[in-house]
Amino acid sequence: MRSKRLIFFSIVLLAAATISIAFLLFFRFDPEGAQDEENERVYGRYYAFVCDDRDSSFWQRVYLGAVEAAEDGDTFVEFFGADLSSELTVYELTEMAISSKVDGIMVAGNESAGMTALIDTAADSGIPVVTMYTDNADSRRCSFVGVSAYSIGKEYGRQIINALGDRDRLAGSSDPAAVNRVTVLLDQGNLFYDHNLIISGIGDVLSREAADMSFATDSVAVDDVSPFSVEESIRDIFMQEEIPDVLVCLSELDTTCAYQALIDHNLVGSVYILGYHDSEKILNAINRNVVYSTLAVDTAEMGRHCVEALDEYMESGNTNQYFSTDVTMIDRNNVSAYLKEKEENDE
């Protein structure tokens, strides 16, 4: 008898939990007009913001740029997954956005078949999708908001020349016969991004603007499953017999792990790190001469373009296929201005 009661109460509790979750999901993703609970305002349009790393300051700032742009209209932009305790993949979050019948989706894309299928499913459901930073050209996305990979490569190429020039000036001499080793870090989890164009841009600048110097450029796939695995991948590079003269990082996490490894191995001044993104940690590392320079994407502009593309498509059924976002190289010559701006924004 006692066993039957326990089974009965277990069934009741399970049913209650299921109903509660369904209730929360319905009101969390209510397709009949999104609502900003804090301001008690109902919006006419509901856009989903989906990325693969919700803790990244880069994506948080892109999201804020989208929110700021949406404030001028009748649109609510939600950072999907931001309030969830579990880590969901970009595919799961995109599928959730489609099921929630949002009005539009902005997603950090990639060229995988799975992402193509999800974007096409959204299009079949009448939901326009904008890919941001990384594209999925084979899909039916309405627009891509990103940066030119080749232009990024050219910017890094010029910084490589500057860094090695500073090294030679500090040494008081240069060896024309010396081979300058350049290593570019590639994230294994995002090999769909067109790294070849970045490396091509680097090579073109080096061959054209530093023809009197000798370079050996290679790339290393970094295991980006976790910060620990990234650290291990970079440490392996510094444990080799021949270490690079310049290390090019193409993500915020790679940059922070690289400069920490540089400090741990006492290689500051021996290896020049070219970083990515302008987080406060990276800017402070430049200010302390640990990181040579970093490439910053105009995150506010990227977020704004995403909203503009979706709005235009919603209103006319058409929009530009590509929106280009500006990039800026930050080094010791202008880092103080960026740090001051961050301090003022924090006040």
Domain chopping of the chain, boundaries? 24-141, 149-297+330-346
- Digit-coded pLDDT (tens) for 16-46: 444 333 433 444 444 444 555 555 677 889 9
Q: What is each CA distance from 61 to 191, 252, 323, in whole angstroms?
A: 23, 13, 18
Query: Which DSSP state fits 52?
Result: S
Q: How many other CB atoms are found less than 10 A from the CB of residue 21?
A: 10
Whole-number pLDDT of residue 162:
95
pLDDT at 4 over 70: no
Which residues touch 183 (CB under 8 Å, ≥6 apart)?
A: 217, 218, 219, 220, 237, 244, 246, 247, 248
Mean pLDDT within 149-155: 92
Q: Do 24-141 and 149-297+330-346 share a fold?
A: yes
| Best CA proximity match to 54, nearest among 14, 4, 2, 92 | 92
**With contact defined as beta carbons under 8 Å apart, do 253 and 243 qualify?**
no
d(CA 303, CA 229): 30
CATH C-level class of 24-141: alpha beta
Q: Which long-range contacts (CB under 8 A, 24 or more apart) does 148-151 make?
A: 148/197, 148/324, 149/193, 149/194, 149/195, 149/197, 149/198, 149/201, 150/197, 150/198, 150/200, 150/201, 151/201, 151/327
Is the whole model's pTM more than 0.85, yes or no? no
Are β-strands 129-132 and 104-107 bridged in parallel, bridged antiparallel, or unpaired? parallel
Would you give the distance in Å from CA 160 to the centre of its chain?
Answer: 23
Q: Cα separation of 193 and 157, whole Å?
A: 19
- The pLDDT assigned to 94 comes to 96
CATH class of the domain defined by 149-297+330-346: alpha beta
What is the tens place of the pLDDT at every residue in 48-102?
A: 999 988 888 889 999 999 999 998 778 999 999 888 777 889 999 999 999 999 9
Helix (H) or strand (E) holding 163: helix 149-171
Local structure of 12: helix, strand or coil: helix
Closest C-alpha among 186, 191, 218 to residue 203: 218
What is the model's pLDDT at position 128? Answer: 97
Question: What pLDDT sits at residue 347?
Answer: 57
Check pLDDT > 70 for residue 232.
yes
